[in-house]
Amino acid sequence: MRHVLTTIALLFPQLTTVDAAEKTQPNFVIVIGDDVGWDAFGCTGTQSARTPNIDKLAAQSLHMERFYCSVSQCAPLRAEMYTGLLPNNNGVLANARKVSRPGVKNVADHLKPLGYRIGWTGKKHFGLGQTKLDNITGFPGGGNDSNKTYSLDGVRDYIKESQSGGDPFCVFICSIHAHHPWDHGKESNFPTDKLKLPPHYIDTPAARQAIAKHAAEVEVLDRQVGDTAALLRTLEVDDNTVLIFLSEQGIAMPRGKWSPYDYGSRALCLAHWPGKIAPRKTNAIAMYCDIVPTLVDLAGGADPQLDGRSLQSVWLDGQDEHRDAAFISNVHPFWQKAIVTQEYKLVWSAEPKREHIWSNFTSAGKFFSKPWTEWTAKAETDKAAAAKLKHVLHPDVLELYRIDKDPYEVHNLATDPQHAKTIAKLHTQLKELMTAAGESLEPSAGNDRRKKPKNGASRNGAKPKRSGERPRKKKEGT
């Protein structure tokens, strides 16, 4: 028999190569939260958090501490994650602003040719690409839903069907937690007098209650992560499954969701693959658009040539360098751009005279409008509160933060002359990233400077410049 197998291998080496590739292709399960920033967990230092499952997963995973979205809103973040393209290249600029980008591909377009089954359950908020993701039942899909339960039975059946067919699978489990209305979970688990507020908050009763309500939803998200990990173990697929947890954008509070600040645009990313990804923390800067090329790379596919780039060297090889900078691009509700490096963050607000507060904060139907009402009232008589309110409403044209030491961005260094060179350098780099992404440098000029493609061609068929990546040496012979 050994001689027969050896003869077959010699005569048909391509067959043994394909078989080996199929056997080593990992499965992927991606769990993503909803309106949950990087700082909502015990593993990121929040003492009041009740997130034992996520904390345990973090201890067993690669814990990425500097993971960013381009736009801190649901639709553009998910478009970036599912396409590997920046907003101006996938066409989803904001929840309320989209432009047509014919030919854009999604994660299923890239993974299905490699033999994968790709499905999702829960909140989708995405509709680009030629190949549809399979709809898996079990998780509620409406971010504003109340009193909804979840079940992993559909995910279990989908994985079993994939196994029976010998197919690797990629499953997105998309939670609605902790999206408003913040009425899931047990709020009483988080006594408001024990909570520590972020330093840019104005301390009022409703602000403390908002944190408690949000934390209760995060606790539900934590149970979903724990149940997912347990299911993979029960099905005995955990050893060859890359389990990824992404927290999404930040909480819907000032300088959080809808803003370019770290409280809104920075996420927690955990990557777990037993025996392949070593547990550790890394400060490597990465973005949501890096997810698709990473999955393709780990699946054995060719570089899809997107704005994102594979994280394989960080996840598998232990490297701590990935991007020189992350690029953040807000056009709605406010035109604000930002660049984030290992040390600094520069925020460029082109219209500082207008009040930078999203209309949702004045909507009586949203709970997070209650803290805002209290904040504005307190600012009338409290100088410290007034200063914090001004910081939200009227940002300077250029703001500089030492982001490695000031993650809540409360100490603006831009007024100090000694930082003038740093500001000028980062502003130039930011403009270069914007130009590379096809964006206008003028707010009034809109956000699309590219010529219309001919004959239905799209940018997705050409090699784009990659935002914030280190230059790579050309290979010999290319």
Q: Give the pLDDT band (50/70/90) at residue 455.
A: very low
The count of residues in the chain is: 478
pLDDT of residue 474: 33
- Which pLDDT band, with edges at 50, 70 and 90, does 364 fall under? confident
Does residue 333 have a cis bond before it (omega within 30 degrees)? yes
Collapsing DSSP to helix, strand or coil, 66 comes out as strand
What is the tens place of the pLDDT at every residue in 292-317? 999 999 999 999 999 999 999 999 99
Is 402:343 a contact under the CB 8 Å cutoff?
Answer: yes
Contact 188, 144 (CB under 8 A): no
Half-sphere exposure of 141 (CA within 13 A, CB side): 10
State mean pLDDT over 5-11. 42
Q: How far apart are CA 195 and CA 251, in angstroms?
A: 16
The amino acid sitting at 352 is P
pLDDT of residue 421 exceeding 90, the answer is: yes
- Res 445: pLDDT: 55
As a whole number, mean pLDDT of residues 355-366 equals 89
User: Please, which residues bridge with residue 328 across strands?
Assistant: 338
pLDDT tens digits, residue range 189-225? 999 999 999 999 999 999 999 999 999 999 999 999 9
| pLDDT for residue 318 is more than 70 | yes
Return the structure tokens found at 52.
């034992």
Q: Indicate whether 443 pLDDT > 90.
A: no
Residue 391, pLDDT above cutoff 50: yes
CA pair distance 316, 80, nearest whole angstrom: 23
CA distances from 79 to 94, 127, 238, 362, 455 (A): 10, 8, 27, 28, 24
Per the confidence metrics, is the pTM higher than 0.85?
A: yes
Query: Quick check: bond before 271 cis, omega within 30?
Result: no
Contact 244, 28 (CB under 8 A): yes
The answer to whether residue 237 scores a pLDDT higher than 90 is yes
- The tokens describing 272, both together, are 């777990």
Structure-token pair, residue 245: 């947890």
**459 vs 422, higher pLDDT:** 422
Structure tokens at 273: 């693959």
Nearest to residue 106, comparing CAs of 308, 246, 287, 244?
Answer: 308
Per-position b or e across 225-251, b if 16+ CB within 10 A of its CB? bbbbbebbeeeebbebbbbbbbbbbbb
How far is residue 310's CA from residue 320's CA, in Å, rounded to a whole number? 13
Q: How many CB atoms within 10 Å of residue 80? A: 29
d(CA 435, CA 200): 32
Q: Quick check: helix, strand or coil at residue 111?
A: helix
Q: 43-96, pLDDT tens digit by residue? A: 999 999 999 999 999 999 999 999 999 999 999 999 999 999 999 999 999 998
- Per CATH, which fold does 25-324 belong to? Alkaline Phosphatase, subunit A (3.40.720)
Neighbouring C-beta atoms of residue 336, cutoff 10 Å: 23
* Gap between the Cα atoms of 264 and 76, Å rounded: 13
Say how many C-beta atoms besides its own lie within 10 A of residue 379's C-beta.
Answer: 19
**Per-residue pLDDT averaged across 230-241, rounded?**
97
Tell me yes or no: is domain 330-449 CATH 1.10.10.
no
- Residues of the chain with pLDDT > 70, as a percent, come to 88
The structural domains of the chain, with segments of one domain joined by +, span 25-324, 330-449
* Residue 470 reports pLDDT greater than 70: no
Residue 332 pLDDT grade (very low, low, confident, very high; cuts 50, 70, 90) = very high
Q: How much is the pLDDT for 352? A: 80
- pLDDT reading at 457 higher than 60: no
Residue 245: pLDDT band with limits 50, 70, 90: very high
